[in-house]
Amino acid sequence: MRKSTVPAAPNIQVIERMFTLIDVLASKEEAISLKEISEKTGLHPSTAHRILNDLGVGRFVDRPEAGSYRLGMRLLELGNLVKGRLNVRDVALQPMRELHKLTQQPVNLSMRQGDEIVYVERAFSERSGMQVVRAIGGRAPLHLTSVGKLFLALDDPPKIRAYATRTGLSGQTRNSITQLPVLERELAKARQNGVARDNEELELGVRCMASGIYDDQGQLVAGLSISSPADRLDESWLSKLQMTTQEISRSLGFKGNPSRL
């Protein structure tokens, strides 16, 4: 994984103080008094007051009543702009490449569209020894893929039964899950473990493990999977996979615990 770096402090003192004030305001849900802000930041009350007033002009800080402050709506507006520009594929691509370097196996980014998984990105090389059958843009049934099972595991029982009725749970290999009770047990394991697997269910000779990617609302928006020849799947990859999906989820604003669905 990429090495973490500590951001350098701003060169301009007033900007550094502004960041400190915003961090203190962000640490509280309710408005904070100027006295408490001064104590937490170590800034003289007059200095904190002056900077907070300037932030108020730009609507970065609100003053609900005299002598108290909270974060302003301008930060929400800017945050929504950033969120709207975030693209799962763009955020995931570099971590996917780093995971591929560690495992030397194809790493796939997939999203749900209806009753299918769509492959939106892949990191792989010829050295993996695997033939990539499904290209970017390819589709596969939810119940036959590891990422698809992550999405199905979030559905309630009536929705899962409706999916089974619509699709007929058709299979593609002798290992494919084609019976609803078997699928329900598989999804229960995915809920318990927070990961899902494909045991040669989509393609003979290929096994996969998958972990989910979550957005700032805690919604499962995509999944990352490692594909490998069936006899070479290494269980030690699972922790690396989960670390990668956690990194991507954090980049999308997720702050929860993705270890359980």
**CATH number assigned to the domain comprising residue 48:** 1.10.10.10
Q: In terms of C-beta density within 10 A (0-12 exposed, 13-18 middle, 19 or more buried), how is residue 139 classed?
A: middle
Q: Are residues 107 and 160 in the same domain?
A: yes
**CA separation (Å) from 209 to 52, 108, 145, 229?**
50, 10, 9, 12
Residue 1 lies in a domain: no
Assess whether 120 and 217 both reside in one domain. Answer: yes
Are 224 and 193 contacting, i.e. CB atoms less than 8 angstroms apart? Answer: no
Please check whether residue 130 lies inside any domain of the structure.
Answer: yes
Cβ-based neighbour number of residue 256 at 10 Å: 11
Structure pTM? 0.69
**Phi, psi values for residue 70, rounded to 5°:** -150, 165
In a domain, 165, yes or no: yes
The number of domains in the chain is 2
Same domain, 28 and 113: no
Looking at residue 2, its pLDDT comes to 45
The vertex-119 CA angle with 85 and 204, nearest 5°, equals: 160
Indicate whether 135 and 46 sit together in one domain: no
Q: Are residues 150 and 79 in the same domain?
A: no
Q: What is the pLDDT of residues 28-55, one digit of tens each?
A: 888 999 999 999 999 999 999 999 999 9
From 83, 101, 131, give the residue that closes a domain: 83
CATH (domain of 201): 3.30.450.40
C-alpha distances in Å from residue 119, one per residue of 89, 109, 192 = 11, 6, 25
Smallest Cα–Cα separation from 70: which of 19, 125, 96, 33?
A: 33
- Alpha-carbon span 135 to 198, nearest angstrom: 18
Residue 261 is assigned to a structural domain of this protein: no
Would residue 33 count as lying in a domain?
yes
Indicate the residue among 83, 112, 138 that finishes a domain: 83
Question: Are residue 54 and residue 41 in the same domain, yes or no?
Answer: yes
Low-confidence ranges of the chain (pLDDT < 70): 1-11, 80-86, 126-135, 258-261
Q: Which residues, 6+ apart, have CB-to-CB distance to 200 below 8 Å? A: 173, 175, 206, 207, 230
- Among 93, 96, 258, 127, which residue's Cα sits nearest to residue 190? 258
Shared-domain flag, residues 67 and 189: no
In a domain, 4, yes or no: no
Which residue, 38, 56, 83, sits at the end of a domain?
A: 83
In this structure, are residues 72 and 61 in contact, taking their beta carbons and an 8 Å threshold?
yes
The whole domain housing 23 covers 13-83
